[in-house]
Amino acid sequence: MKTDHLIQEDILEALKWEPFLNETEIGVAVKNGVVTLSGMVDSYAKKLSAEKVAMNVSGVKAIAEDIQVGVSLSDEKTDTEIAEAILNALKWHVAVQEDRIKIKVESGIVKLEGQVDWLYQRNNAKTAIQNLVGVKAVINLITISPKVAQADISEKISAALKRNALVDADKISVEIKGSKAILNGKVRSMIEKEDAELAAAAAYGISSVENNLEVVIPSYAFTEA
């Protein structure tokens, strides 16, 4: 079994190899496979990038993220400037229904509201603006007004999971409640857990995903030759 100390070392090394990040700004603590990230970065995108780097490291079971965003004076933007930049970003993003989204910016924290037809449109709205200068956090309150879900939606999600080479679909069960997909079972990594959620979220008629998948690291993954 991979020790917490080794997981911590691997995450710190991975952060060094991420050109977008300064590893000295980020603290890493690990306990029982649960990683806590702390520190301060100068953009919201860097905060998300650090989380992604940690998630990719083998042995990580969960992420507790406590990184703060502090924009430098040279990059400081007024809320009006940030709002205008967001409007432009959403307007030019082909996978976003920008006319159905309302924006509120307060002290660099962006709140998105409104309704869209698909979950991927909700997610893309956040993705489109998280790299903008001055944005400290994004609160995505956009809701889904989905079309009527197909009767065999559970089978379609299961089929999508089986098509994903990175997901062991046989260990995942899918339950549908209204327009919500509920995933239960076991996966081998945080990345597999995320891939399963993305596959379910892309299904026709799904507005949210409850991901209850448990990360169980195979013991053979750390067996020395």
What are the tens digits of pLDDT across the range 86-126? Answer: 999 998 887 788 888 999 999 889 999 998 888 888 889 99
Q: Which fold has domain 73-144?
A: Histidine-containing Protein; Chain: A; (3.30.1340)
Give the E-state strand segments of the chain in sequence order.
26-31, 34-41, 62-69, 101-106, 109-116, 137-140, 143-144, 172-177, 180-187, 208-211, 214-215
Domains 73-144 and 153-217 share a fold: no
**Would the pTM of this model clear 0.85, i.e. be above it?**
no
Instruction: Please enumerate in sequence order all residues whose Cβ is within 8 A of that of 119, keeping only pairs 6 or more positions apart, or say none.
Output: 144, 201, 202, 206, 207, 208, 209
Q: Which fold has domain 4-69?
A: Histidine-containing Protein; Chain: A; (3.30.1340)
Enter the DSSP assignment of 98.
G
Helix (H, G, I), strand (E, B) or coil at 156: helix
Domain boundaries, the chain: 4-69, 73-144, 153-217
At 17-61, the pLDDT tens digits run 888 888 889 999 999 999 999 998 888 888 889 998 998 898 898
- C-alpha to C-alpha distance for 171 and 103, rounded to whole angstroms: 40
Domain boundaries 153-217, CATH class: alpha beta
- C-alpha to C-alpha distance for 145 and 142, rounded to whole angstroms: 10
Helix (H, G, I), strand (E, B) or coil at 115: strand
